[in-house]
Amino acid sequence: MAVQMALSRILIRETDDTHIVELREVEGDRVFPIMIGFNEAAAIERRLMGQEPPRPQTHELLANMIEQLGYQVIKIIINDLREHTFFARIYLTNSDHVVDIDSRPSDAIALGVATDVPMYVEEHVLEQLADPE
């Protein structure tokens, strides 16, 4: 079962390559921190601050392409954790069918923020974080 999450905060360290996005459970108290790259962190931060770049950045470009092809992003799900690596899926629809696409969680979150769609983390992933053994 997937648990709906909302973007809680973002930590960008300008002197370090470690940037963290924290998702918080919509109907609960659990948090989901994940390390992401600078470009994804900067894209998310720009969106949160309402700053539109003069030209589309990667995630805006992807969102524009999806829309121009007649699809829309409907949700993203962080669906697995294997060998210290998170996995995600991006779900698109064109009203005829749903397509799900493999993604890095950082890209999925950045696209989810850019398109303002619900974000989820599978329950078993949250449980693995709570009990890493």
Counting the structural domains of the chain, the total is 1
Question: What is the domain-level CATH number for residue 112?
Answer: 3.10.690.10
Tens-digit pLDDT profile for residues 54-69: 888 888 899 999 999 9
What single string gives the DSSP state of each residue in 75-126?
EEEEEEEETTEEEEEEEEE-SS-EEEEEE-HHHHHHHHHHHT--EEEEHHHH
Q: Whole domain around residue 10: which residue ranges?
A: 2-130
Tens-digit pLDDT profile for residues 9-64: 898 887 777 799 999 999 999 999 999 888 888 888 888 888 888 888 888 899 99
